[in-house]
């Protein structure tokens, strides 16, 4: 299986996903994408959803936590795109960002 390591290094088989969650601390998790067709918009959308799901959704009444959550998602997306690009994985980056 292929996995992303957000804010870390993309490895072909095992990786860690490090993002800044709402609590402003770093953590690590894995996001797999080996089962997705990244040449299709649907596959890119599912990957974007998986990457964003790595950031825990805060209580919407806590505005600072919501802001940190938005930053976490942006950081995770940026890191995923950087890793995919560095590995030469072809995908529609515009669709990834828009997801």
Q: What confidence tens digit (pLDDT) does each residue in 23-69 have?
A: 456 767 788 888 998 888 888 889 989 988 888 888 989 998 899 88
* pTM, to two decimals: 0.68
Into how many domains does the chain fold?
A: 1
Which residue range forms the structural domain that includes residue 46?
3-98
Q: How far apart are CA 70 and CA 88, in angstroms?
A: 27
């Amino acid at each position: 299986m292929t996995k992303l390591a957000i804010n870390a290094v993309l490895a072909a088989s095992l990786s860690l996903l490090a993002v800044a969650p709402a609590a402003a601390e770093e953590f690590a998790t894995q996001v797999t994408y080996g089962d997705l067709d990244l040449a299709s918009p649907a596959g890119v959308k599912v990957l974007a959803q998986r990457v964003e799901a790595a950031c825990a959704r805060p209580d919407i009444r806590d505005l600072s936590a919501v802001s940190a959550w938005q930053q976490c998602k942006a950081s995770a997306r940026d890191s995923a795109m950087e890793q995919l690009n560095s590995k030469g994985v072809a995908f529609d980056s515009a669709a990834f960002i828009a997801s």
